[in-house]
Amino acid sequence: ALLIVAAWPLSRSVWFSLTDASLLHLYDAKFIGFKNYYKVLHTDSGETLYFGVLMDPAWWNAVWNTVRFGLTSVVLEIALGMVVALVLNAQFKGRGFVRAAILIPWAIPTVVSAKMWGWMLNDQLGIVNDMLMRLGLIHE
The DSSP symbol for 47 reads: P
Distance CA 83, CA 76 (A): 10
pLDDT at site 45:
58
Contacts by 109-118 with C-beta closer than 8 Å and gap 24+? Answer: none
Q: Which amino acid is at 118?
A: G
What 3-state class would DSSP assign to 30? coil
Give the ranges where 1-140 is alpha helix by DSSP (H). Answer: 2, 8-17, 35-41, 57-89, 95-120, 127-134
**Geometric angle at alpha carbon 5, from 11 and 26, rounded to 5°:** 45
Distance CA 133, CA 116 (A): 20
* Burial per residue of 24-56, b for 16 or more beta-carbon CB atoms within 10 angstroms, e otherwise: eeeeeeeeeeeeeeeeeeeeeeeeeeeebeeee
Its pTM stands at 0.44
Distance CA 49, CA 36 (A): 15
pLDDT in tens, the chain (140 residues): 877 888 989 999 999 999 999 888 888 899 999 988 877 666 665 555 555 555 667 767 888 999 999 999 999 999 999 998 998 899 999 988 988 888 888 888 888 999 999 999 998 889 999 999 999 998 87
pLDDT at site 76:
98
- How big is the chain, counted in residues? 140
